[in-house]
Structure 1
Amino acid sequence: MNSMWRPDEGPVVCVGETMAALAPTPPDSLDSTGELRLSVAGAESNVAMYLADLGRSVCWLSAVGDDAFGRRVCAAVGAAGVDVTGVRTDPERPTGLLVKDPGRDRTRVHYYRSGSAASALGPDVLDDPRVRSAALVHLTGVTPALSPSCRDLVERALGTPRGERLYAISFDVNHRPALWPDGTAATVLRELADRADIAFVGLDEAQDLWGADLEPADVRRLLGRPRILVVKDGARAAHAFAEGGGGGGGGVCTVPALRTDVVEPVGAGDAFAAGFLAGLLDGHDMRRALRLGHLTASSALKVTGDHGPLPDTATIARLLDLTDEDWSAPARTDR
């Protein structure tokens, strides 16, 4: 596994848009008379912040407007221990904004990001020296949906052959239907994910995109090129397919999810990706990396924002060392 990384173990670079986020507090409908809480939200910066929590050197590359929201975003991500010195300030375009509207069954998210500073990002982001010195570059399927130049950025990153770059690339499908014109996401996201070294996709996402009857092994057959493919099956389990898996002779590792009281599911997938990647970078085997993914995801599930506090180091170590039987016990939680 370690052969995937640079010998000198450079930083992780996360590239993508982060927005200011408004949500009612306490969690309630926007139609209520409660106050609105301001936070930040972005798939790639979520991953960056959790990686920093887990002790990794990480930077976030993006663009924000020359406005109060942009300054708030950079301050929040930087306060989590992420290097934000590579974030560009756009004097003409605004920082994106989202508004959460919690409901009884699910949280609706309203985006105000058209023409945002980050939507003007392009392939030149990859010329940043932080990218050239990285061990890993993390991208998601949100970015190519934002604009043609953003799609060009992701295409260039994933189009560079493995032998011509020192860093590995991870790609989380992170399908956001509202961002894609009808009928376009399935083909584009499959092609992009299949070029990554490490790919993440939720089973529900895969079923929505590529076929309602898909099982994890079917997803591996659709995405056969990544050296590692992680298929997340919600609160049930996560499956990691090693290179050549899904009928190609490689291995598969399945780890059940922890039982966790869910406050809000938003951000849990990003947290899982961060935990799994941190586990690989720390030299863990696939099982422990999946466990660390679950532990990190449970921290996001317990809060209304995208970024929640991790268990202490001793608790994480204890849980990672559990036997399979103890980990899988029906009453097992991360507390």
Structure 2
Amino acid sequence: MTGTAAVDVVCVGESMVTFVPSAPGQRLADAAAFDRGTGGAESNVACALARLGHAVRWISRVGADPFGDHLVTAVAAAGVDVSEVRRDPGRPTGVYFRTGDGEVAYYRAGSAATAMNPGNVGRRDAWAGRVLHLSGITPALSRGCADLVHALTAPGPGRPLVSFDVNHRPALWRSADPRRLARLAARCDLVLVGEDEAAAAWGLPDADAVREALPGPAVLVVKQGARGAIAYEGCADGVFVPAPDTPVVDLVGAGDAFAAGFLSATLRALPLRDRLARGHALAAAVIGVRGDSLAVLGDEAWGRLRA
């Protein structure tokens, strides 16, 4: 990574407006009122990195509608550059409803984000940072989105460090082969994947098997839930760092928080063990509060995390 780029990290991917029942514990069918927020793997990472002091740009497409207004305003308020977010007058902004107990209803089919493709998201813009961060959600959204991720992970002059969070969502891969995620991951420099994801998507039983299947990425992080995470760098044996014992309020967003913490420490060239510890610290902060995004953390909490 060089230090001459205009931004530290460019995040490319979908974001949606989220609605969570105002009364905790309610089913979606029973909720009469909802709290509105934002959700999206790449925009969550972008917001967290910006709050940690990095220069971050988010590239996406949203509808030319009030929900699109809300998303762009909320992400910008976290300090993220949204100048490359395009408004689509012919497609809506995606929304989804969820509870804290895993009940989710998505309304993203035909959304503006699903129309992303190599023709409307240029490689030059996506490669403008020291790091490009992508997730496995994007290639599952549409053929155009899959083509985009394939194009952005291709080798070429000026390619930044490419970070890829597998983010396997079984519902998005019902009609496609999730092994495509492994092929995309193999093209990247830094890969993050949950051990449970690797088992579900690729039939791999443990972290060592994941590394054997993905020898190419310079850094591979396998998250092992409440136990911790193990990271492999180069040909060295894995380094394991346990997760802190943290009361769980809401697990949604924990993976994005971990990715942001690990990337922040990577940008600061910290040792591998410290990168894992930073990932755990940010994940612990988000699972202790209710909400999709690290935006729910107050300034005091962010001050402690930056320190």
Name the CA distance, whole Å, in 1 between partners of 2:206 and 2:248.
25
Aligned pair partner of 2:244 in 258, 266, 271: 258
Q: Whose relative contact order is higher, 1 or 2, with alpha carbons under 8 Å and at least 6 apart?
A: 2
Name the CA distance, whole Å, in 2 between partners of 1:203 and 1:166.
28
Aligned pair partner of 2:222 in 214, 231, 243: 231
After the TM superposition, list the runs of 4 or more consecutive aligned residues in structure 1 that deviate by more than 3 angstroms. 310-317
In structure 2, give the amino acid aligned to 1:122.
N
Q: 1:241 is paired with a residue of what secondary structure?
A: strand
Tell me: CA distance 1:281–1:125, structure 2 relative to 1, closer, same or farther (3 Å). Answer: farther
Q: Is residue 52–residue 302 contact of structure 2 (8 Å, CA) maintained in 1?
A: no
2:107 maps to what in 1? 112
Q: 2:109 is paired with a residue of what secondary structure?
A: coil
Aligned pair partner of 1:204 in 196, 206, 213: 196
2:160 maps to what in 1? 167
Q: 2:226 is paired with a residue of what secondary structure?
A: coil
Tell whether 2:190 aligns with 1:195.
no
Name the CA distance, whole Å, in 2 between partners of 1:251 and 1:282.
22
2:90 maps to what in 1? 92
Q: After superposition, what is the alpha-carbon deviation per residue over 1:249-273, rounded to whole angstroms, capped at 9, x for unaligned?
A: x242111001111111111001100
**The structure with more radius of gyration:** 1
Aligned pair partner of 2:4 in 1, 5, 8: 8
Q: After superposition, what is the alpha-carbon deviation per residue over 1:78-127, rounded to whole angstroms, capped at 9, x for unaligned?
A: 1111111110000100000111034xxx3121111011001111114552
Tell whether 2:270 aligns with 1:277.
no
Name the CA distance, whole Å, in 1 between partners of 2:12 and 2:49.
14
Where does 1:66-85 land on structure 2 (aligned, <5 Å)? 66-85=64-83
Where does 1:313-332 land on structure 2 (aligned, <5 Å)? 313=303, 317=307
Name the CA distance, whole Å, in 1 between partners of 2:219 and 2:87.
35
Name the CA distance, whole Å, in 2 between partners of 1:131 and 1:172.
16
RMSD: 1.7
TM-score (norm 2): 0.93
The structural deviation recorded for 1:34 is 4.3
In structure 1, the gaps of 5 or more residues are 245-249, 318-335
TM-score (norm 1): 0.85
In structure 2, the gaps of 5 or more residues are none
Name the CA distance, whole Å, in 1 between partners of 2:158 and 2:238.
27
Q: Is residue 275–residue 295 contact of structure 1 (8 Å, CA) maintained in 2?
A: yes
Name the CA distance, whole Å, in 1 between partners of 2:121 and 2:218.
22
Name the CA distance, whole Å, in 2 between partners of 1:175 and 1:124.
25
Q: 1:111 is paired with a residue of what secondary structure?
A: strand
In structure 2, give the amino acid aligned to 1:275.
G
Name the CA distance, whole Å, in 1 between partners of 2:47 and 2:129.
16
Q: Is residue 13–residue 61 contact of structure 1 (8 Å, CA) maintained in 2?
A: yes
In structure 2, give the amino acid aligned to 1:112.
Y
In structure 1, give the amino acid aligned to 2:151.
R
Name the CA distance, whole Å, in 2 between partners of 1:84 and 1:11.
14
